[in-house]
């Protein structure tokens, strides 16, 4: 011990416990003061980076409380103006703004470190009086368009949508398909009904509350405003052990080291924002309970159907098994909702990449430094590669590089980024609803609609009539999620004594040793409390799930709300789009004429695609080689990356239509000049050998291609591998 002589283990522990209690109360005091400061700011956020305003959404034709800012690179970070810009869209799901750039190791930080210009779409605490959800996604499209205008010739901006911002970004991309580049959806729920039995209890909430009529009631009591603190409270209820004990106890038990991290997080988490009641009602009716987005049942204000199959951009989905707010089924289930077969997905020209983390929680997807420096770093650095991929479904696999990896000079960083082709069956294998489960959720949708209409017809007018002016402001100030912050601020006279005592305690701090018996007993008791609260949460969730299935699985209830199992099974799929089918048929007709059309580039891309189909996967080394060859192309034959992307897709689709015919036609595309033909073959070999010596089917296909070029397989291959290694 330091400062005084020990009087025994009990004394040491009691002194330490008392000091920790005082310091813990002082941390809560600091948190309360930060909360007060954030509430007084016109534009509070937790961005770690300096930024300048580019567009103010309040000045648009349809004003919104969103804005576009340019992130200023920190000192020592250089931006490459030739690189694609990145835009991070902040989630507006109740909590405060800025999570995408809360730390240096963040989505924004990673993009800047990779040399990309970076922008941020954030929001203010209060919405504009008449703004709607549609106004918000249209404003986002306007912001992305401005970013693209500022960076011509670099490729369309890559857009990162976190959580709520993910589905908002997908709607934006579906209604404005020509504006954005690749999309990264991080922890974003698009299929709100999806999940598996025994988990994902949040999806049952709407049913157990009788639908969205309570959302209408909250909006009326809030005088047209919905308090985001209600959404934050719902998130916290998912894990009672963490909310009510583990998080505060972690600070109390490690108050000497955890205070700063705790305060940084609570600055964001403890600054709930507001939504218009109309916005929240739209979200609850169409997404939380209705699940109408992936079914194609949502229309814009002018009657245009929102169909996610209209998205032209490559889509990257990042989710986690440790996420109890957006489980993988909700993050990925929309894919099988939209497409019945792999051929449908490919025919629609859609490229989808997904990655499922093994353990990180929902918030960790955005704020974990380890995730930022691994997954987000690899996604960012490989976005151009993803943009060039042909249509299909792929899983991103990120592995530490080893001494056995070929051509390590082509690998950026400490990890190798690979894309492995997958099928829709791989998505289905993650788990999901049975037809009976879907019917139960459809019953919730019907019950919700009935209850909401009853409320609007009978209770709503009465509630609005008797709610006194100013009640909404008072109710927001008295919300438990706000009071628990404000009550410990310096506005509470009693906290002044805490501040003075804490200052003295820090001077005389005497922490107990780790081997103290009473300290060990405290940790054992803490584990018991935590386990008890976890057991309570699990029992509550199990009871909720059983009650949900018993209630909405009732054939009588389903009949009363007009559900027919046969009709419902066929209805809950996006409708066939005659125009889209005509476009796809026209595209196929165009491709039919391209089997024997083209030159050296088309022959090379078709050959590479054919070999890759036998190889089963691609990684960043092959793309790095393609990029080098693209940048070194002769001055007389310039092709932009966008043109190269279109050529890659066409050649891949030709192989999918008729692989045998496409391969047989390769000699007809080759240049007559022997040297140019040899140069084309060398380029193919360099790209294939960039990932190492081909084996099995890939080796056989390479030999076949070399024979089509009129070269001897083994000699040419070995020579080019030596050239690449050199």
DSSP for 371-423, please give it: HIIIIIHHHHHTHHHHHHSPSEEEEEEEEE--TT-S-GGGS-TTEEEEEEEE-
- Give dist(CA 508, CA 22) in Å, integer: 12
Helices 213-221 and 435-454 cross at an angle (nearest 10°) of: 40
Least confident range from 51-65, 98-112, 386-400, 473-487: namely 98-112
The percent of residues above 70 in pLDDT, for the chain, comes to 94
Mean pLDDT score, 313-337:
95
Instruction: Please count the helices (runs of H) and the strands (runs of E) in the chain.
Output: 35, 13
For residues 327 and 538, give the distance between their C-alpha atoms in angstroms, rounded to a whole number.
17
Q: Reduce the DSSP state of residue 159 to 3 states and report it.
A: strand
Three-state secondary structure call for residue 348: coil
Range scoring the smallest mean pLDDT among 211-225, 456-470, 693-707? 693-707
Angle between helices 620-631 and 674-689 (to 10 degrees): 150
Instruction: Report residue 544 as tokens.
Output: 């909720």
Mean pLDDT across 19-31: 97
Q: What is the mean pLDDT of residues 429-442?
A: 93
CA atoms within 13 A on the CB side of 454: 11
- Checking 610-613 for CB contacts under 8 A at 24+ apart, the result is 610/655, 610/659, 610/662, 610/663, 610/701, 610/705, 611/684, 611/688, 611/694, 611/698, 611/701, 611/702, 611/705, 612/698, 613/655, 613/659, 613/701
The mean pLDDT value of the chain amounts to: 90
Residue 585 burial (10 A CB sphere; 0-12, 13-18, 19+): exposed
pLDDT of residue 600: 87
User: How many C-beta atoms surround the C-beta of residue 627 within 10 A?
Assistant: 17
- DSSP-derived 3-state class of residue 68: strand
Determine which of 236-250, 484-498, 534-548, 585-599 has the lowest per-residue pLDDT on average.
585-599
Q: Are 87 and 147 in contact (CB under 8 A)?
A: yes
Q: Give yes or no for residue 2 having a pLDDT over 80.
A: no
The predicted pLDDT at position 514 comes to 87
Tell me what pLDDT residue 545 has: 96
CA distance 545 to 561: 21
* Burial zone of 63 (CB within 10 Å; 0-12 exposed, 13-18 middle, 19+ buried): middle
Q: What is the pLDDT of residue 307?
A: 94
Average pLDDT over residues 263-289: 93
Is pLDDT of 695 > 70? yes
Confidence of residue 591 (pLDDT cuts 50, 70, 90): confident
- Can you give the C-alpha Rg of the chain in angstroms? 29
pLDDT band per the 50, 70, 90 thresholds, residue 4: low
* 60 burial level (CB within 10 Å; 0-12, 13-18, 19+): middle
Cβ pair 211, 451 in contact under 8 A? yes
DSSP string, 130-146: T--HHHHHHHHHHHHHH
State the DSSP code for 458: I
DSSP labels, 205-252:
HHHHTTSSHHHHHHHHHTTSEEETHHHHHHHHHT-HHIIIIIHHHHHH
Q: How far apart are the first and last CA of the chain?
A: 62
Q: Do the strands 274-276 and 225-227 form a parallel or antiparallel pair, or are they unpaired?
A: antiparallel
Q: What is the percent of the chain where pLDDT is above 90?
A: 69
Cα separation values, 162 from 124, 185, 501, Å: 17, 6, 42
Examine the pLDDT at 716 and tell me if it is beyond 70: no
481-511 confidence digits (pLDDT tens): 999 999 999 999 999 999 999 999 999 999 9
Span 202-219, mean pLDDT?
95
pLDDT-wise least confident of 218-232, 441-455, 705-719: 705-719
How much is the pLDDT for 690? 85
580: exposed, middle or buried (Cβ count in 10 Å: 0-12, 13-18, 19+): middle
Q: At what angle do helices 9-40 and 494-507 cross, to 10 degrees?
A: 130
- So what's the pLDDT on residue 371? 82
Identify the pLDDT of residue 637: 59
Model confidence, pTM: 0.91
Question: What are the residue ranges spanned by the domains of the chain?
Answer: 51-201+276-428, 578-725
- Torsion from C-alpha of 465, 466, 471, 475, nearest 10 degrees: -110
Q: Cα-flanking dihedrals φ and ψ of residue 7, to 5°?
A: -105, 15
Does 1 score more than 60 pLDDT?
A: no
pLDDT exceeds cutoff 70 at 722: no
- For residues 553 and 531, give the distance between their C-alpha atoms in angstroms, rounded to a whole number: 32
For residue 617, what pLDDT band results from cuts at 50, 70 and 90?
Answer: confident
Residue 335 has pLDDT above 50, yes or no: yes
Statement: residue 269 has pLDDT above 70: yes
Closest by Cα among 439, 341, 354, 360 to 389 = 354
Model confidence at 723: pLDDT above 60: no
pLDDT score of 725: 40
Distance (Å, rounded) from C-alpha 238 to C-alpha 441? Answer: 20
Contacts within 8 Å (CB) and 24+ apart, 536-539: 536/240, 537/238, 537/239, 537/240, 537/241
Residue 363: what pLDDT? 86
Please, which pLDDT band fits residue 106 given cuts at 50, 70 and 90?
Answer: confident
How confident is the model at residue 459, as a pLDDT? 97
Domain 578-725 has CATH 1.10.3680: yes
* For residue 6, pLDDT beyond 70: no
Which residues are CB-neighbours of 125 under 8 A, at least 6 positions away?
Answer: 44, 65, 96, 271, 273, 274
**Candidates 2.60.40.650, 3.40.50.1820, 2.60.120.10, 3.20.130.10; correct CATH number of 51-201+276-428?**
3.40.50.1820
What gap in Å lies between CA 703 and CA 721, rounded to an integer?
A: 14
In the predicted structure, residue 569 carries a pLDDT above the cut 60:
no
SS3 call for 351: strand
Structure-block tokens of residue 94: 């109740």
Query: pLDDT band at residue 636, thresholds of 50, 70 and 90?
Result: low
Concatenated DSSP letters for 81-128?
TTSPPEEEE---SSS-S-GGGSSSSSHHHHHHHTT--EEEEEE-SS--
31, pLDDT greater than 90? yes
For residue 206 the two structure tokens come to: 């709407």
Give the model's pLDDT for residue 573: 66
Tell me how far apart the alpha carbons of residues 186 and 166 are, in angstroms, rounded to a whole number: 7
* 216 DSSP β-pair partners: none
Residue 45 to residue 28: CA distance in whole angstroms: 20
726: pLDDT strictly greater than 50:
no
User: Per residue in 351-385, pLDDT tens?
Assistant: 999 999 999 999 888 887 788 778 989 999 999 99
Identify the burial level of 388 via C-beta atoms within 10 angstroms of its C-beta, where 0-12 means exposed, 13-18 middle and 19 or more buried.
buried
Q: Is the pLDDT of residue 197 over 90?
A: yes
How do 315-320 and 415-422 pair as beta strands? unpaired
């Amino acid at each position: 011990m330091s400062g005084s002589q020990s009087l025994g283990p009990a004394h040491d522990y009691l002194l330490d416990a008392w000091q920790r209690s005082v310091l813990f109360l002082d941390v809560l005091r600091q948190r309360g003061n930060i909360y007060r400061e954030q509430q007084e700011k016109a534009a509070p956020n937790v961005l770690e980076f300096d930024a300048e305003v580019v567009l103010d959404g309040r000045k648009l034709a349809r004003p919104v409380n969103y804005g576009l800012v340019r992130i200023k690179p920190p000192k020592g970070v250089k931006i490459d103006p030739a690189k694609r810009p990145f835009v991070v869209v902040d989630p507006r799901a109740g909590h405060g703004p800025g999570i995408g750039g809360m730390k240096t190791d963040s989505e924004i930080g990673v993009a800047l470190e990779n040399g990309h210009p970076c922008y941020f779409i954030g929001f203010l605490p209060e919405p504009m009086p008449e703004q709607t959800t549609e106004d918000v996604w249209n404003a986002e499209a306007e912001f992305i368009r401005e970013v693209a205008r500022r960076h011509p010739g670099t490729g369309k901006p890559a857009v990162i949508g976190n959580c709520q911002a993910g589905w908002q970004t997908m709607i934006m991309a579906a209604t404005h398909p020509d504006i954005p580049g690749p999309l990264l959806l991080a922890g974003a729920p698009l299929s709100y009904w999806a999940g598996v039995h025994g988990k994902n209890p949040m999806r049952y909430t709407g049913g157990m509350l009788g639908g969205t009529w309570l959302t209408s009631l909250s909006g009326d009591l809030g005088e047209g405003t919905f308090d985001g603190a209600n959404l934050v409270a719902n998130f916290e209820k998912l894990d009672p052990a963490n909310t009510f004990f583990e998080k505060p106890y972690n600070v109390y038990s490690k108050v000497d080291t955890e205070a700063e991290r705790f305060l940084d997080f609570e600055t964001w988490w403890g600054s709930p924002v507001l939504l218009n009641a109309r916005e929240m009602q739209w979200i609850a009716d169409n997404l939380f309970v209705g699940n109408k987005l992936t079914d194609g049942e949502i229309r814009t204000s002018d009657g245009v159907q929102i169909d996610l199959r209209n998205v032209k951009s490559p889509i990257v989905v990042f989710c986690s098994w440790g996420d109890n707010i957006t489980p993988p089924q909700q993050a990925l289930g929309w894919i099988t909702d939209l497409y019945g077969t792999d051929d449908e997905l490919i025919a629609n020209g859609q490229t989808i990449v997904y990655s499922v983390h093994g353990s990180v929680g929902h918030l960790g997807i955005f704020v974990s430094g380890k995730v930022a420096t691994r997954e987000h770093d690899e996604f960012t650095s490989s976005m151009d590669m993803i943009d060039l991929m042909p249509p299909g479904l792929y899983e991103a696999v990120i592995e530490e590089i080893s001494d056995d990896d070929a051509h390590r000079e082509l690998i950026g960083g400490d990890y190798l980024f690979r894309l492995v082709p997958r099928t829709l069956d791989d998505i289905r294998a993650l788990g999901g609803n049975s037809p009976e489960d879907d019917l139960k959720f459809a019953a919730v949708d019907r019950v919700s609609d009935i209850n909401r209409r009853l409320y609007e017809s009978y209770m709503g007018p009465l509630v609005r009539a008797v709610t006194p002016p100013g009640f909404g402001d008072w109710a927001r100030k008295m919300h438990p999620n706000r009071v628990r912050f404000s009550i410990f601020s310096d506005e509470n006279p009693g906290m002044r004594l805490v501040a003075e005592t804490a200052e003295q305690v820090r001077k005389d701090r005497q922490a107990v040793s780790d081997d103290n018996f009473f300290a060990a007993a405290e940790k054992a008791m803490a584990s018991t409390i935590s386990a008890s609260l976890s057991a309570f949460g699990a029992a509550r969730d199990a009871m909720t799930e059983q009650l949900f299935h018993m209630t909405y699985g009732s054939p009588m209830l389903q009949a009363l709300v007009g559900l027919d199992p046969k009709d419902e099974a066929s209805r809950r799929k996006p409708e066939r789009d005659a125009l889209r089918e005509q476009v796809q048929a026209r595209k196929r007709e165009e491709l039919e004429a391209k089997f024997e059309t083209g030159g050296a580039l088309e022959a090379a891309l078709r050959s590479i695609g054919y070999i890759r189909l036998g190889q089963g996967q691609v990684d960043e080394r092959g793309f790095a080689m393609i990029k080098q060859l693209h940048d070194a192309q002769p001055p007389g034959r310039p092709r932009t990356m966008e043109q190269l992307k279109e050529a890659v897709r066409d050649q891949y689709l030709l192989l999918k239509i008729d692989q045998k015919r496409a391969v047989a036609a390769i000699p007809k595309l080759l240049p007559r000049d022997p040297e140019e033909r040899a140069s084309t073959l060398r380029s193919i070999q360099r790209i294939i050998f960039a990932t190492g010596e081909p084996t099995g089917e890939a080796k056989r296909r390479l030999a076949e291609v070399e024979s089509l070029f009129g070269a001897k397989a083994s000699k040419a291959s070995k020579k080019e591998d030596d050239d690449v290694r050199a």
